[in-house]
C-alpha cells in the first residue's frame, strides 16, 4: 500500500500534498523535529523525531520503500529513498530517480564547494512561485497514480 512521506521541516507544499493524498485515499506522514500542527484528517499523521542532524531524514529513509512516494528538497535523502525503491519529488515538481540522482548529487556537491570557496557569495535559491506549486501538484498527481498502479 502506497504511503506519501513528507520531509516536513521547511516544506512549502504540505497543504497541497495533503489534498492529493486525501483525494487518492493514501496515508500521508509528515516527518519533522516538531513545530508542526497535528493534522485533522485521519489519513494524515505526524511523526516527530528527536532533535539532531538528519533525524527526520534517517526516519524517512528507513521507512520508505517500493511503491511509496517521498517529497523532499534534501538531495542525499532523495538518493537514499530512491535506492530503497521509493519515488521522489522535489518541491518544484521535478522527479528524482535512478537516472538523474547521480548528476543532481554531483551538482549539489559542486555548488557547496563553490559556496565554501567564496565566503562573500550572496544570495540563496529563487523564491517559491505559483508556477512551482502548480508543477508540484501536477507531478504529485502523476506520481501518485503511478505508485498506486504498482
At 88-124, the pLDDT tens digits run 999 999 999 989 877 777 776 666 666 677 777 665 6
Question: What is the structure's pLDDT at 39?
Answer: 84
93-113: burial string, b at 16+ Cβ within 10 Å, e else: bebbeeeebeebeeeeeeeee
Domain extents in the chain = 3-118+129-149
Q: Are 136 and 89 in contact (CB under 8 A)?
A: yes
Question: What is the structure's pLDDT at 123?
Answer: 59
| pLDDT single digits (tens) 9-55 | 889 999 999 999 999 999 999 999 988 888 889 999 999 999 888 89
Return the minimum-mean-pLDDT range out of 72-86, 112-126, 130-144.
112-126
> 3-118+129-149: which CATH topology?
Rossmann fold (3.40.50)
Amino acid at each position: 500500500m502506497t504511503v506519501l512521506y513528507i520531509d516536513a521541516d521547511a516544506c512549502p507544499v504540505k497543504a497541497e500534498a495533503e489534498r492529493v493524498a486525501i483525494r487518492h485515499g493514501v496515508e500521508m506522514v509528515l516527518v519533522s523535529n516538531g513545530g508542526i500542527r497535528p493534522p485533522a484528517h485521519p489519513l494524515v499523521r505526524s511523526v516527530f523525531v528527536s532533535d539532531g542532524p538528519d533525524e527526520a531524514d534517517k526516519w524517512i529513509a528507513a521507512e520508505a520503500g517500493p511503491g511509496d512516494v517521498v517529497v523532499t528538497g534534501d538531495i542525499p535523502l532523495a538518493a537514499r529513498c530512491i535506492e530503497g525503491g521509493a519515488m521522489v519529488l522535489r518541491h518544484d515538481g521535478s522527479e528524482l530517480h535512478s537516472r538523474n540522482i547521480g548528476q543532481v548529487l554531483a551538482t549539489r556537491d559542486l555548488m557547496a564547494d563553490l559556496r565554501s570557496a567564496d565566503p562573500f557569495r550572496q544570495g540563496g535559491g529563487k523564491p517559491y512561485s505559483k508556477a512551482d506549486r502548480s508543477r508540484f501538484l501536477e507531478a504529485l498527481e502523476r506520481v501518485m497514480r503511478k505508485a498506486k498502479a504498482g
